[in-house]
Structure 1
Amino acid sequence: MNINCLIIEDEPLATYVIEQYIEQTPFLNTTKFDYLKDALDFIHDNKPDIIFLDVNTGSIDKYQIQRLMQKKDLMIIFITAYPKSFIEKNLQLDISNLGYLHKPVSYKAFVRELERIIV
């Protein structure tokens, strides 16, 4: 079983960390973009299984995120330095059933979140 992951993150160090964690997991493949707007065509054409999405890339559009959240075969894991409440309040999104990783992301938290959403 291969799981296709997409990283949308504009901080090179944060991208590198998530990329390294994905590479340590044999069944995960990865592609990366700096901004959500640049990744939308890729998402439509390639249908990734998991998106690791930084909510502070400067070009976040809550309506684009809401459309992504409606896809049943796509799991979003938010990666951010902000608490969940910030995302829910400022982006007006209910992320209670989505993934969430707080920066800096530890490998233990990464694995725990993957296990939670893949099962």
Structure 2
Amino acid sequence: MPDYFHGYTVVGLVAVAGVLFVAVSFGAGRLLRPTVPTPEKLLPYECGVDPVGEGWAHTQIRYYVYAFLYVIFAVDSVFLFPWATIFAADGYGGVTLVEMFVFLGFLSVGLLYAWKKGVLEWT
């Protein structure tokens, strides 16, 4: 029984050490940094451009759609690399091939849907 809990003890100690490291780092940063608030420092900062006008601005939805499509294909690539490494292993070839085609089919249907809806048009 002691060997069983040894693994959990190590994970718990690493988690506690990580939390302590973050807490000590933030505490040291708070104690060591200078705090001289000025009106310029309290302004919102956005990509090096001084704020002009009100803080609310409309953003085109197509940028979010492209970001969403990027995430879909990033997930696809994250799934493809491990699949490519295990595909050659004994006993995994046929099953993983079918799973990959099902996964790529779902992605293809989503891409076709986006294309038919005109989401991929930049106008």
TM range (shorter): under 0.3
The structure in which a higher percent of residues are helix is: 2
| Structure index of larger Rg | 2
**TM score, norm. by length of structure 1:** 0.20
The structure in which a higher percent of residues are strand is: 1
Work out which structure has the larger RCO, using CA pairs closer than 8 Å and 6 or more positions apart in sequence: 1
**TM score, norm. by length of structure 2:** 0.19
